[in-house]
Structure 1
Amino acid sequence: MAMLLAQTNPDGTPLDEWIDNLWFNSSGWVTSGMVMNVVYAVVGLIAIFCGYFVARYLARIVSGPICKRVDETLGRFVGNAIFYSVMIGLITFVASNLGFQLGGLTAILAATGFAIGLAFQGTLSNFASGVLMIVFRPFKVGDVVNIAGVTGKVNEIDLFTTTLDTPDNRRLIIPNSSISGSTIENISFHPHRRIEILIGVDYKADIDATRQTLQEALDLFATDTIQGEGRGNKVVLANLGSSSVEWKVRMWVASSEFWKLQESLTGEIKRRLDRAGIGIPYPQMDVHLRRVDNPDTSVPMRPKIRPARRPSSMQDNLPYAG
């Protein structure tokens, strides 16, 4: 301690006396009001710091039940809205109590917001579309959808973009404005889907035999068929095409088993038709050639034009006199 008191400042005054002189000299410009302002500022920063954790806690408390019972995307949106609302309100309250004039700041923020709105029209359009999708919920996380010409499973719905995972494991990020401005197909919305396979058979095949063969293929999947009103399976004579008789084979199945059963049913139909000797024709064109022997109707030959021969002259044999 003695060594500390023995330390001197550049003027040679002992350290304790130098501190006393510094406080005595600064007492003229350090006022009590300035000290109170510093105290208020420190209290305001502490309030904002504590309010940050309070806002996160409130957002988690409110969004948790919504994510579990209603929808995960809606719960995230509500949680973020509560968090930012609490923080903006707290910062505004602290600033007003510290004596900041918020009237001019509001006008500046309004002008800045107008300029930003003009510069980010596309981004704001994505934001508005994201809010509408979260509120009306045409699809949710985990649904298989066809949006903006892309088919995939919804991984996340954000305020600006929507993330899809394709069947071949690609991650696609689509702007929300592109989704809201196009047709949205929610493939996995209903628990049941109908398989419909279009088949064309030869005109020589018997209609009754063809129907029986196709029905036998359907009966093989009776345990996988969803029964009920408007459900079940059916063989329909659809159309008499240009080169084949067209049939439709329909079967209602669970949405989760759609692709597997569609492939199995298609293969079984092909095997049954082959066993029954019923052919599946393909479009073809017959070209008929006819020879014409009548010389009157033959195509006239194009006359040949020979180049004109240069006339001979005695002047060609004369020597050049130039």
Structure 2
Amino acid sequence: MSKTVNISSPSQFTEVLQGSVLVLANFYADSSIPSQQVAPVFEQLSQALSRPKLVTFVKVNTAQQKDIAEAYRVTSPPTFIIFRGGKVVEKVQGADALKLQSAVKKVSEEVQKMGSGEGGASGSGSGSNDANWKGAGLPRGYTDITSQVELRYCELLNVDPDAGSVRALFDTAKPSALSGGKGAAKDWVESDTDEQLLLFLPFQSMLKLHTLQITSLPPNDDDDDDEEVPMRPRTIKLFTNKPHNLGFDEAEDLSATQEFELSEEDWNAEGTANIPLRFVKFQNITSLVLFVVNGDGDGEKTRLDRLRLIGETGEKREMGKLEKIGDEPGE
């Protein structure tokens, strides 16, 4: 379901500007071919970055909402305007997807900087109003590019259906486990039949990946008496530029782009492991497969609360050629 708000009146537009810290507005026209061309890009960004009361994406039909278009001097659709606190901070004219992405990147960076409670905003995660939670700092010279994950094409294998969905891994809110959130909605994932997990992450753009940050917050034994306590991951294999997810046997046998072992010392006080990657091997990547081979302990399940990708973005990629296991050529 689309997260983009279709503006139907000036009063509604005013309410949105007052109710969200950041607003990105697409002023479009149905008769404009450039508007039609860039609309899917805007929708993908809306799906990836929308946050209740923090970041809102809206569409304004310039023919139907002439007063709004005139108020912001929009004469040539598509025009994209970014508002902060109800004020214009940037305007992008035309169907230039790269310029739009660059502008929206600033939105993403704004989200990362937002403190809890700023502008009355709250996070989109379960039970936390800290939208600026981070398990570890950013390496100097690099940015958080987690928003480049194409969520609708992600695939997670061997996941416990009673835990959270794959989207929970990329929530910007503080994990409920750090907020005393026992009994809250499960905003983490756990493996199901054994300790292994296979996660396929396609990206919206070509990426240079510098660092992977993994947060894992299994409960203490005495906190979860009625259930088996999951483990943190220990051995992890990464594979780049795969067109689809791997099978478990295939992932076991293939040589990884990088493989690493995590120990207790790798996890900080907030349950996050900061993993530097062999940067030369993670240039110009379009997808990542993360394979949790085993957990650190004697249990039968592993747990992941958050994933964060640090690096640089590059050229936007076409998303139409992604495959799933079992797809036949030409389908």
TM-score (norm 1): 0.23
TM-score (norm 2): 0.23
Q: Which has the higher contact order (CA 8 A, sep 6+)?
A: 2
The structure with more radius of gyration? 1
Which has the larger share of strand?
A: 2
